[in-house]
């Protein structure tokens, strides 16, 4: 039967309807997606429902859920070209060829431009690949292809807003995000794009005000709640200092409870590392975080996760763990297979970023600068957002300061203040430099 996008979709009417509801819930990041997905996937004939389950595993960024999702999908004999194309994407992604999966998604979306499953998966993959161009261009193409009357249409502006933000076009990002929120106030991804635009301009007060005013729209349970709280903690670190940021960490990022997602551990490491750079003692939080990352070690599955594990081990003073992980990353980087995207990423910048942080933790600030400076414009290759990767940019600046490379440090501060003139953190580094030169 045809779904509401006019796409041929196998399955009972109940399963196809549930699949549509699952996809709509995913655009709004609502956890109800999982219930709808279960209904869709329980129909053995609804192959796309089972494939969406595999996509969700892959979109976790973790090897375990990825492999489990693909295993649950089972054997599928494609009934048409779209099913075959999605299956090829999933197989490439699961095999670690994320770059190849992205190119296959180009083909899927060229052939079926209104395919919401492809767009949803592609947007997440573009984020994992740090592909700002695709983060914008795929939603922009969907805005042309989708029926504007479709209830999910406004969410496309939220997707586009995040791409615009990652491309550095903050006014356009804000406009696109607000366009989404006007029609879909519950669009936590559009709100997230707006938050990023404010973060990148150093507008922390405005960010906190926005999140406070919009709390009824995001304070409930959804897939972005922890990450949104992390953003609030970053703003609070700027406006109110470390105590407030740590209070938010404990209350809303990670309280040390069991079975956190890798994405929670990423946010935890990113925040605590910023505090470490500021000389703040986070106490036993570091040990808990390092221990949890050790449990999440997945054998160089995804550099972005491993890089945050290195931050955690270094923050906890577990340099043995950090060094062992960096060695495993170096081993993975040696894979000559061009389709092993993680190896390419590690070679391009990931390994240098990891070694830079390890050098920092060892107190060898000159070595840290030597590792990080050459790759500071290449960090997007390991994925995530500019705001997340700022952990490494800040590390480089602090290392430059501590190693006495004051000219370089001043140039880095100048770059930051040009973009974020009101940044408390950058102004504090400038004051440190001024004090050194007196």
Residues found near Fe ion in the complex (CB under 5 A): 385
Give the separation between CA 115 and CA 11, rounded to whole angstroms: 17
In angstroms, what is the minimal distance from the CB of 191 to Fe ion? 10
Among left, alpha and beta (phi > 0; psi -120 to 50; other), residue 8 is: beta
Which residue lies nearer to Fe ion by CB, 102 or 385?
A: 385
Nearest Cα neighbor of 200 from 389, 361, 336 is: 389
CB of 385 to Fe ion, least distance (A): 5
Q: Taking the complex as a whole, how short is the minimal distance between the CB of residue 182 and Fe ion, in angstroms? A: 21
CA 148 to chain centre: 28
Residue with the shortest CB distance to Fe ion:
385
Smallest distance, Fe ion to C-beta of residue 392, A: 16
Least distance CB 242 / Fe ion (angstroms): 20
| C-alpha to C-alpha distance for 29 and 26, rounded to whole angstroms | 5
What does the alpha-carbon distance between residue 406 and residue 232 come to, in Å, rounded to a whole number? 31
- Partners of residue 89 on adjacent β-strands: none
- Closest approach of Fe ion to the CB of residue 192, in Å: 6
Q: Could you please report the per-residue DSSP string of 370-432? A: HHHGGGTTTGGGG-S-HHHHHHHHHHHHHHHHHTT-HHHHHHHHHHHHHH-TT-HHHHHHHHH
**What are 208's two structure tokens?**
């906190």
CB of 385 or CB of 395, closer to Fe ion: 385
DSSP code string of 335-373: ---TT-HHHHHIIIIIHHHHHHHHHHHTT-HHHHHHHHG
| Nearest-angstrom CA–CA distance, 246 and 85 | 46
Give the shortest CB-166-to-Fe ion separation in angstroms. Answer: 10
CB atoms within 10 A of CB 420: 19
Please classify residue 11 by burial: count the beta carbons closer than 10 Å to its beta carbon, then call 0-12 exposed, 13-18 middle and 19+ buried.
buried
The smaller minimum CB distance to Fe ion, of residues 169 and 287, is found at 169
Which is closer to Fe ion, CB of 173 or CB of 399? 173
Of the pair 263, 413, the CB lying nearest Fe ion is at 263
Q: What are the φ/ψ torsions at residue 266 (nearest 5 degrees)?
A: -65, -50
* 3-state secondary structure string across 96-123: CCHHHHHHHHHHHHHHCCCCHHHHHHHH
Q: Is the Cβ of residue 385 or residue 403 nearer to Fe ion in the bound state? A: 385
Nearest to 371 by CA among 417, 432, 310, 298: 310
CB 304 to Fe ion: min, Å: 13
Nearer to Fe ion, 124 or 403 (CB): 124
CB of 347 to Fe ion, least distance (A): 26
Q: How far is the CB of 261 from Fe ion (least distance, A)?
A: 15
- Nearest residue (CB) to Fe ion, 108 versus 194: 194
Nearer to Fe ion, 21 or 385 (CB): 385
- Nearest residue (CB) to Fe ion, 106 versus 419: 419
**What count of residues does the chain have?**
438
- Closer to Fe ion by CB, 104 or 214: give it: 214
Cα dihedral 21, 27, 31, 34, rounded to 10, equals: 50
CB of 135 to Fe ion, least distance (A): 12
């Amino acid at each position: 039967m045809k779904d509401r996008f006019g796409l041929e979709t196998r399955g009972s009417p109940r399963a196809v309807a549930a699949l549509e509801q699952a996809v709509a819930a995913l655009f709004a990041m609502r956890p109800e997606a999982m219930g709808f997905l279960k209904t869709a996937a329980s129909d053995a004939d609804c192959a796309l429902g089972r494939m969406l389950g595999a996509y969700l595993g892959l979109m976790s960024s973790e090897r375990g859920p990825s492999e489990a999702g693909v295993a649950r999908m089972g054997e599928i004999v494609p009934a048409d070209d779209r099913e075959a194309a999605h299956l090829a994407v999933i197989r490439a992604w699961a095999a670690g060829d994320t770059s190849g999966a992205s190119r296959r998604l180009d083909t899927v979306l060229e052939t079926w431009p209104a395919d919401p499953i492809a767009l949803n998966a592609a947007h997440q993959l573009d984020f994992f690949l740090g592909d700002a161009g695709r983060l914008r261009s795929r939603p922009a193409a969907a805005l042309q292809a989708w029926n504007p009357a479709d209830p999910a249409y406004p969410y496309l502006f939220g997707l586009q807003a995040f791409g615009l933000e990652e491309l550095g076009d903050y006014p356009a990002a804000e406009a696109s995000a607000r366009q989404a929120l006007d029609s879909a106030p519950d669009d936590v991804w559009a709100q997230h794009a707006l938050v990023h635009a404010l973060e990148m301009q150093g507008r922390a007060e405005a960010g906190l005000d926005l999140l406070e005013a919009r709390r009824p729209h995001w304070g409930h349970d959804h897939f972005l709640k922890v990450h949104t709280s992390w953003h609030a903690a970053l703003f609070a670190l700027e406006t109110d200092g470390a105590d407030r940021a740590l209070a938010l960490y404990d209350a809303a990022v990670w309280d040390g409870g069991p079975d956190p997602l890798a994405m929670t551990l990423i946010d935890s490491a990113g925040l605590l590392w910023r505090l470490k750079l500021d000389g703040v003692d986070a106490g036993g939080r570091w040990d808990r975080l390092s221990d949890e990352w050790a449990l999440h070690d997945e054998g160089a599955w995804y550099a972005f996760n491993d890089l945050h594990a290195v931050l955690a081990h270094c923050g906890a003073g577990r340099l043995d763990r950090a060094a062992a992980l960096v060695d495993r990353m170096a081993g993975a980087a040696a894979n000559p297979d061009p389709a092993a995207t993680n190896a390419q990423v590690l070679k391009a910048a990931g390994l240098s970023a990891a070694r830079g942080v390890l050098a920092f933790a060892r107190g060898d600030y000159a070595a840290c600068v030597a590792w990080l400076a050459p790759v500071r414009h290449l960090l997007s290759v390991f994925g995530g957002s500019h705001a997340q990767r700022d952990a490494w940019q800040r590390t480089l600046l602090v290392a430059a300061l501590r190693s006495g490379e004051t000219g370089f440090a001043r140039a880095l501060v100048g770059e930051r203040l040009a973009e974020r003139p009101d940044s408390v953190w950058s102004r504090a580094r400038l004051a440190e430099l001024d004090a050194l030169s007196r």
